[in-house]
Amino acid sequence: MASNFTLNQQLAEDCIVLGSLGSSLLLLLNNSLVPWFILVPQTEACEIHDMPDNERLQLFDEMMELARFVDNEFKPDKVNTGAIGNIVRQLHVHVIARYEDDFCWPQVVWGRPEKKLYSTKEIDRIMTRLSTRLKQRFVPVTAE
């Protein structure tokens, strides 16, 4: 990560930092009710359309790589991808596995009170799957 990069406080509180995927920070929302990943690109832009072309193309490559990972690993009925940013202004992209029998299908998952935190074992399993599947681009966070 760039030395001047700072993760938004709300994202830091709500998510587990898994590492980096390309030039983006890769997060896991700490709610195991649905597999919900978040990419946070290192950019000053708050909107995708304001990003320099090279950064935007790299972000889209990372989004596609993560969406394919989610689709292959979690076998969802639908993969939701979106950059909303109404609450958290720092540019970030959600990639969420959705199932027709999940807790709020077909409604959106944002802002719901239902929550089940990940166990350490579940997080370790996801990290292993990321490291195996995305070994060329995923750099896991290291304990300090």
User: Model confidence over 104-116: pLDDT tens digits?
Assistant: 999 999 889 999 9
Q: Domain 9-135 adopts which CATH fold?
A: HIT family, subunit A (3.30.428)
Would you state the pLDDT for residue 4? 80
Between CA 26 and CA 128 the distance in angstroms is: 14
Would you state the pLDDT for residue 24? 97
Would you state the pLDDT for residue 1? 44
User: Model confidence over 44-90: pLDDT tens digits?
Assistant: 899 999 999 999 999 999 999 999 999 999 999 999 999 988 889 99
Give SS3 for 11: helix
State the burial class of residue 16 (Cβ atoms within 10 Å of its Cβ: 0-12, 13-18, 19+).
middle
- Structure token digits, residue 109: 């998952």
Residue 144 pLDDT grade (very low, low, confident, very high; cuts 50, 70, 90): low
User: Model confidence over 26-35: pLDDT tens digits?
Assistant: 999 999 999 9
pTM for this predicted structure:
0.94
